[in-house]
Amino acid sequence: MPELPEVEIVRQSLLKNIKGKKINKVLVRNRNLRFKLETSFEKKLKNKFILNIKRFSKYLIIELANKSFCIVHLGMSGTIHILKNKRGNLPTNTSFYNSPNLPKNHNHVEFFFKNMKLVYNDPRRFGYFQFLNNSNSLKKKFKNFGPEPFDKKFNPNYLVNYFKKKDKNIKNFLLDQNFVSGIGNIYASEILYLSKINPSLSAKYLKKNQCINIVINSRKILKNAIKKGGSTIRDFKNTRGDQGNFQKEFKVYGRDKQNCKRFSCSGKINKITQSNRSTFLCEMCQK
């Protein structure tokens, strides 16, 4: 599943390509996504101008000129492709994985603009679209989400107070969208490695300086991942033909049994399972 940096890359690509454009037509080929698309979805978006493309957590927010919104969640396998007229067989993918070109199957939703179209492809159909009538509905949608790592509210005092008497381990807290929004499995392992914190440690035992490190390193890693174009786990090139490159900087994720990259550390990377998810850590740095 794409995490905050990968969704941000999609947002930036859409911003450059469809901001200010009029949606001439919407074609739904399959309504049976994670949540079934309402029958009025096409009508609500037709002839609307796109005012802006925003993001919160792992969600894309298409802001329309009449102050309504279209929420897009990519789920496990959703990708967005931009096809421009007379373009030829060039990369179309704005996302971070799967084919760089538009696949032949599983193209469920299409947005038509002048001289181009946007196609939503999703083999597993865990992603979804949701139309929201106004900003109050948008606020209600995300009211139970925790702050993003870049938010000022995500600070050491917030962590210390939130973790009081909490037995759940810190890795699972980083994945809990009610605590912090946007961090997923890959970046949680990288954040805890950089912070020298054992992923299995109960949150209530974290000290203030460890909370400070989590805040600093969450921002550092996510900012760097965005700068590098996200993490390419499979064959992917975006619409410019570029790969995401942050996977080249993984310190622990996917490095089971390899040597720790930290200077002067002779430890090896271990792979463990937490809540049915793979976690990677250094056996010495993160005792």
Closest CA to 56 of 36, 73, 68, 37: 73
CA atoms 30, 48, 100, 55: torsion sign: negative
Catalytic: which of 2, 5, 91, 199? 2
Query: What is the token pair recorded at 185?
Result: 């499995």
Catalytic: which of 220, 251, 271, 277? 277
Catalytic: which of 3, 6, 8, 190? 3
Q: How many residues are given for the chain?
A: 287
110 has catalytic annotation: no
Bridge partners (DSSP) listed for residue 277: 274
262 has catalytic annotation: no
CA atoms 220, 71, 80, 17: torsion sign: negative
Rounded Cα gap, residues 12 and 71, in angstroms = 16
Bridge partners (DSSP) listed for residue 22: 49
148 has catalytic annotation: no
| Side chain identity at residue 27, one-letter code | L
Say if residue 103 is exposed, middle or buried (CB neighbours under 10 Å; 0-12, 13-18, 19+). Answer: middle
Q: Are 269 and 255 in contact (CB under 8 A)?
A: yes
Task: Match 């919160």 to its residue by tokens.
Answer: 56
58 has catalytic annotation: yes
Three-state DSSP state, 122: coil
Query: What is the token pair recorded at 206?
Result: 């974290």
Q: How many CB atoms lie under 10 A from the CB of residue 40?
A: 9
Rounded Cα gap, residues 30 and 88, in angstroms = 26
Catalytic: which of 55, 58, 228, 255? 58
Closest CA to 128 of 43, 58, 49: 58
User: Which positions are catalytic?
Assistant: 2-3, 58, 277
